[in-house]
């Protein structure tokens, strides 16, 4: 479930798609479409974070191209470590995402900082750049929205709610 609607028609959307195109060609990244994340897929979550990052950073005259690119791969991992507790997974996944991203792309210091510190304050180190802090905040914002959306969709499926919905039609 994407919260933005990107058709590629407007100049803004065309630029966004041009920035992320190299990532979309990577099969391993596309496998994130199969991974659940905040009640949606990891791919959709990453697209949400990237698009919001793009619009916010562009409007603030920040390095929106590098920030958008890094935002899309901030959760670039396809494995789940079953024996790790939730907290350990939270603090370890930025390292895994950064390692995966570096297999495919030569990242700038800004991009590395965005990926490595998007879980601040759980990760060690304060975001070094404005863009890093923004991606961190946008990630939290998106996660909350996605979880709420997912919960609402689950509630709609409850038999008692279905009865109420169908009785009012």
pTM: 0.82
Q: Which domain holds residue 96?
A: 11-142
Residue 55 lies in a domain: yes
Q: Are 49 and 71 in contact (CB under 8 A)?
A: yes
- Total tally of structural domains belonging to the chain: 1
Residue 147 lies in a domain: no
Per-residue pLDDT of the chain (169 residues; tens, 9 = 90+): 555 555 556 777 899 999 999 999 999 999 887 877 656 788 999 999 999 999 999 999 999 999 999 999 998 876 655 555 566 666 788 888 899 999 999 999 999 999 999 989 887 789 999 999 999 999 999 988 887 877 777 676 767 666 666 676 5
Residue 123 lies in a domain: yes
Estimate to the nearest angstrom the gap between the alpha carbon of 12 and the chain centroid. 19
Q: How far apart are the first and last CA of the chain?
A: 26
Residue 122: its pLDDT value, please? 83
Residues 6+ apart with CB under 8 A from 36: 42
Residue 161 lies in a domain: no
Q: Are 30 and 24 in contact (CB under 8 A)?
A: yes
Residue 168 lies in a domain: no
Residue 41 lies in a domain: yes
Helices 109-116, 64-72: inter-axial angle, 10-degree rounding: 40
Please tell me whether the peptide bond between 121 and the residue prior to it is cis, using omega within 30 degrees of 0.
yes
Residue 152: its pLDDT value, please? 74
Would you list the DSSP string of 120-169?
A: TTSSSS---SHHHHHHHHHHHHHHHHHHHHHHHHHHHTSHHHHHHHHHT-
Residue 168: its pLDDT value, please? 60
Residue 6 lies in a domain: no
Residue 164 lies in a domain: no
Residue 40: its pLDDT value, please? 76
């Amino acid at each position: 479930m994407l919260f933005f609607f990107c058709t590629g028609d407007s100049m803004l959307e065309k630029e966004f798609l041009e920035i992320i195109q190299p990532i979309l060609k990577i099969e391993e990244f596309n496998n994130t479409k199969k991974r659940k994340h905040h009640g949606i897929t990891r791919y959709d979550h990453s697209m949400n974070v990237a698009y919001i990052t793009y619009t916010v950073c562009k409007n603030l005259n920040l390095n929106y191209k590098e920030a958008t690119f890094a935002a899309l791969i901030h959760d670039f991992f396809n494995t789940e470590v079953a024996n790790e507790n939730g907290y350990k997974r939270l603090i370890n996944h930025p390292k895994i995402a950064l390692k995966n991203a570096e297999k495919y792309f030569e990242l700038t210091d800004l991009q590395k900082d965005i990926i490595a510190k998007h879980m601040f304050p759980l990760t060690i180190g304060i975001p070094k750049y404005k863009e890093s802090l923004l991606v961190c905040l946008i990630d939290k914002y998106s996660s909350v929205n996605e979880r709420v959306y997912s919960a609402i969709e689950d509630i709609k499926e409850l038999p008692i709610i279905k009865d109420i919905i169908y009785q009012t039609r």
